[in-house]
Amino acid sequence: MRRKFNMLYQLATRIIDGVKEATIANVARKQRTITSLFPAHPGRVQKVGHMGGVRLDKLGTESWHFKIHSGTKKSVWYDAVIKFLNITPILEKLVKDRRLWTRDKSKVDLRLLASEFRNRAEVKITCNCPCQQYWGFNYILSKDKYNAKYGDKETRSPKVRNPHQYGAVCKHLDALFKALPFYNSTIARWLDDFYGKDIEEFEVEAKKEFEKFKKAGEELGKKVEPKEKPEVEKTQVPEENSEEATEETKESKIDESVGYSGAKALYKVYHDIERNIDPSPEDIFEALNMMEEYYRDYLEWYHKCAEYKTKDKEIYKAYEKRLQEIRATKIGKDPGKALVALDTAINQWHRDYPAIVHLIMDVEELEPSAREKQMIGWFEKVSQILTKLGRLPEESPYADYSMSSTGK
């Protein structure tokens, strides 16, 4: 997905040792202005996939090298590199997050760790295609605001071809960004191979800290043991079309990203509600995690676009409120309140479409794989259930926007 599921839409930059480094999400938000320079850019990115797509060439301790096919010429491949920065400090912080551990809390779950690492990783990037250089994208990435240019910085401003400095990367890097979520299992193996010992050390420290809090809680007469979850009827999730499924797709069903697992959980929640069954707390909070990232990304984007923050003031305030509600219910861990927050969040309007329809549109922007079609199917079913339950309004509450279709 452009925002959430491609993981290009999660966290802003961090400052380490006084130097600002960019995340892929930070660069991707800047990339949203690319259509002002190239209105046909989304279609060009799709052509890259049709011609040959993205291939992982080799892995290093810090850098990933890719081959990306031209969108116009046959048998022409460009070289792209993503270099990850400050890997160990980021992993140390992530391993301390108990939400990224296995269910029995015995160790960190590498799949969840890999998914979150993609969102938080600070990077430098490059592509050796002519567009990246001559349309000013290397210059934009070299600016202190992003500091994301791999290799020597470019100091020559694109005064002729791109004077307003729209976008941030070429169509090849854009295609790479959209493909990254499907490398989750590869990222997990890479972290284990190159940083496994570091992760184990961080796990030991995290366990020590947890034991301290546990003892403190016991002294105060509080139990830290998790409550038993009520047994509920399991919702059967439809299987994806086996004829369309590739080996990579089948593997990705095991190594699910937050977006994929969140979409499945969202469907299961509303399918249970439709059948008058109490949804599983686990599914509720999984879906809520997905919506938290969706709202967090939009608010970060608004902070970068002053004109939209002013123009869409009502929407911005509503999104802030939804995010606060989500975070408060996650802290409280009350499934009932969490369900209310989830239902409110999924029906919140953004301009001319509610959030559920925006999620559908985001996935449809990609070149649909079997896995992505399954996600679209879940979201469409949720949209239908919401309409059936009378939860999905037919008209936008914002006067300047309207919607002719609910996107079903």
From first to last of its 408 residues, what are the pLDDT tens digits of the chain?
444 333 333 333 333 333 356 888 888 889 989 999 999 998 898 899 888 889 999 999 999 999 999 999 999 999 999 999 999 999 999 999 888 999 888 999 998 899 889 888 999 999 999 999 999 999 999 999 889 999 999 999 999 999 999 999 999 999 998 888 778 888 999 999 999 999 999 999 999 888 876 666 566 554 444 445 445 454 555 554 444 444 444 434 333 445 788 888 899 988 888 776 778 888 899 989 888 888 888 787 777 766 665 667 778 888 888 889 989 988 888 888 888 888 888 888 776 677 887 777 766 665 657 777 788 888 888 888 877 766 666 566 655 544 333 333
Q: Are 226 and 350 in contact (CB under 8 A)?
A: no
- pLDDT at position 365: 62
Q: Which amino acid, 44? A: R
Q: Which amino acid, 32? A: R
Task: Measure the CA angle with vertex 170, ends 169 and 173; round to 5°.
Answer: 75
Distance from CA of residue 28 to its chain's centroid?
11
Distance CA 102, CA 109 (A): 5
- pLDDT at position 26: 84
- pLDDT at position 94: 94
Distance CA 300, CA 153 (A): 26
- pLDDT at position 231: 52
Burial classification of residue 295, based on how many CB atoms lie within 10 Å of its CB (0-12 exposed, 13-18 middle, 19 or more buried)? buried
CB neighbour list of residue 31: distance below 8 Å, 6 or more residues apart: 8, 167, 168, 169, 174, 177
Q: Are 12 and 300 in contact (CB under 8 A)?
A: yes
- pLDDT at position 294: 84
Distance CA 310, CA 149 (A): 31
- pLDDT at position 203: 94
Distance CA 194, CA 274 (A): 46
- Residues forming a β-bridge with 19: 16
Distance CA 317, CA 182 (A): 33
With the C-alpha atoms ordered 194, 198, 202, 204, is the resulting torsion angle positive or negative?
Answer: positive
- pLDDT at position 218: 62
Question: Per DSSP, which regions of 172-266 are E strands?
Answer: none
User: Which DSSP state fits 278?
Assistant: P
Cα dist. 123→13, 39, 179 in Å? 10, 27, 16
- Residues forming a β-bridge with 311: none
- pLDDT at position 394: 58
Cα dist. 391→5, 341, 406 in Å? 25, 13, 12
Residue 229 structure tokens: 């979850």
- pLDDT at position 92: 94
- pLDDT at position 314: 79
- pLDDT at position 183: 84
Distance CA 262, CA 83 (A): 28
- pLDDT at position 217: 58
Q: Are 7 and 293 in contact (CB under 8 A)?
A: no
